[in-house]
Amino acid sequence: MRIVGIDCGTERTGFGIIDSDGRSHDFITAGVIRTKTSQALSLRLKQIADELEKLIAKYAPQAVAVEEVFYSVNVKSALKLAHVRGVALLQAAQAGLTVAEYSALEVKMSVVGYGRAEKSQVQMMVQSLLRITTEFPSFDASDALAVAICHGTRGVLR
């Protein structure tokens, strides 16, 4: 199954695409959709939507996995993040794809085996699981791949 993992953010939205049979995962591509903080939120959301639409069209996934919104103190940031998640969910729905949502704890447990793992630990395990020898330019892409791996291993159980 081809899976797109998305790590939502208004400045940087990470994406990662893998093929998975539930036990083995193969790396297809990963990257970051970057937006300009000087632009209005509506234009940034449109850019993210357009780029996700292109990715879905190009790589023809069967599923999309997105991390659930997490917030502790900054509610304003959580609301902006929710807008980006809404865009990602809408693009998946318009493409007729199955959508799965996972908490950060579920993603980290699935990939690292420890729910409070640091981003560097997640990135290292993603590289190991996908047999990637180069470093990622950002945690956004490796976090998105972690969400995809989580769905690859847990999605068959849902």
Query: Of 8 and 157, which is predicted with more confidence?
Result: 8
Which position has the token pair 């068959």?
Answer: 156
29-49 pLDDT per residue, tens: 999 999 999 999 999 999 999
124-151 pLDDT per residue, tens: 999 999 999 987 778 999 999 999 999 9
Comparing CA positions, the residue from 121, 117, 111, 115 lying closest to residue 18 is 111
Cα 30 from Cα 139, distance rounded (Å) = 11
> In the chain, what are the domain boundaries?
2-157
- What is the average pLDDT across 46-54? 97
Question: From the centroid of its chain, how far is CA 95?
Answer: 17
What is the CATH T-level fold of the domain 2-157, as seen in this structure?
Nucleotidyltransferase; domain 5 (3.30.420)
User: What are the structure tokens assigned to 22, written together?
Assistant: 């539930």
Residue 79: predicted pLDDT: 85
Amino acid in the structure at residue 15? F
Q: Which residues are catalytic?
A: 7, 67, 140
Query: Of 108 and 76, which is predicted with more confidence?
Result: 108
